Amino acid sequence: MKKLFALLILVALGLGFAQPARSDLDIAVVAHGGANNPFWVVVYNAVNDACKDFGVSCTYDAPDTFDLPLMAKMIDAAVARQPDALIVSLPDVATLGEPIEKAIELGIPVFSINSGSDLFQSIGILRHIGQTEYEAGLGAGKRFAAAGGTKGVCISHEQGNLALDLRCKGFADGFGGPTEMISSTTSDASELYSLLDSYLSNNPDTDTVLAVGPQPGEPAIQVLEDRGLDGKVQLGAFDLSPLMIEAVQRGTMSFLIDQQQYLQGYLGVQTAVLYAQYGLLPGNEIILTGPGFVDASNAEQVLDLAAKGIR
């Protein structure tokens, strides 16, 4: 009977934790990627799940394409309604710093997710939920070097996104051999295909390619297959997509770097709610969600979860 009573208390506490007493809490989320993006739709799903689980009201706003000035306006609009907490991604401080600082001046607690691990403290954001981008790139570079890579290229789809630049810098430092970074201002698959295809034409001794996300990663698969370099040139990418996971399974891609973005969305809301409700904050200023590596050993399980919008 005592064990049953203790179990009922734990269940009750668990339910109480999932349903805060204040159902009127308003959480605003503004990100640089929207639900039309295969990566960000997972964050969007996580935000919705967390808001439902915690019984709070949430909004999620993001530009359709990478547009920092538009994102800054979206932050201003969110701040104008004075939510109980604001969650933002932080790819750049120069453009986004001012509207975020306005929120803080108004007493709105601000948390960052995904990008901004090296920037958030400088403008007074309370906690960051994500991975440290440089270290993730460093791990990828070391993996490639250990597998015999000698000359590498890092391809990006968002020129000016400091988080993606850090991924490439970490890759270069971990790789050790000569590397270059090539970048585009668009996520258009055909343009990214042409960018990498042209680079490999001019640099035929390149044996390692790292893509900073699915946007350049998926075209890179096709470039290597079209050039007959499938399995001959090492290819890895940040983040996940079903197409890239399948490429890992058949050996076209060496590995994927998983920052577990579902955790970023879910823990972002959880952290904001617990602070707004109880004034609670995790002890670590950066709440790490990655990096983890997806390779042939665990790709099948991850593919199943990706189909469910969780990975």
Within a domain: residue 8? yes
CATH number at residue 253: 3.40.50.2300
- If one compares 109 and 11, the residue with the highest pLDDT of the two is 109
Domain with 177, as residue range(s), is 133-258
Same domain, 208 and 145: yes
Tell me: pLDDT of 275 over 80: yes
- Average pLDDT on 210-229 reads 96
Share of the chain above pLDDT 90, in %: 80
Structure confidence by residue, pLDDT tens digits, 151-202: 999 999 988 888 899 999 999 999 999 999 999 988 899 999 999 999 999 9
> Does 10 lie in the same domain as 75?
yes
Residue 236 lies in a domain: yes
* Residue 48 pLDDT greater than 90, yes or no: yes
Give the highest mean pLDDT range of 32-46, 194-208, 289-303: 194-208
As for how many domains the chain has, the answer is 2
Mean of pLDDT over the chain: 91
Q: Does any domain span residue 228? A: yes
Mean pLDDT of 234-257: 94
SS3 string, the chain, reads CHHHHHHHHHHHHHHHHHCCCCCCCEEEEECCCCCCCCCHHHHHHHHHHHHHHHCCEEEEECCCCCCHHHHHHHHHHHHHCCCCEEEEECCCHHHHHHHHHHHHHCCCCEEEEECCCCCHHHHCCCEEEECCHHHHHHHHHHHHHHCCCCCEEEEECCCCCHHHHHHHHHHHHHHCCCEEEEECCCCCHHHHHHHHHHHHHHCCCCCEEEECCHHHHHHHHHHHHHCCCCCCCEEEEECCCHHHHHHHHHCCCCEEEECCHHHHHHHHHHHHHHHHHHCCCCCCCEEECCCEEECCCCHHHHHHHHHCCCC
Read off the pTM: 0.78
Q: Please tell me whether residues 242 and 143 are part of one structural domain.
A: yes
The confidence score (pLDDT) of residue 304 equals: 86
Give a yes or no: residue 36 inside a domain: yes
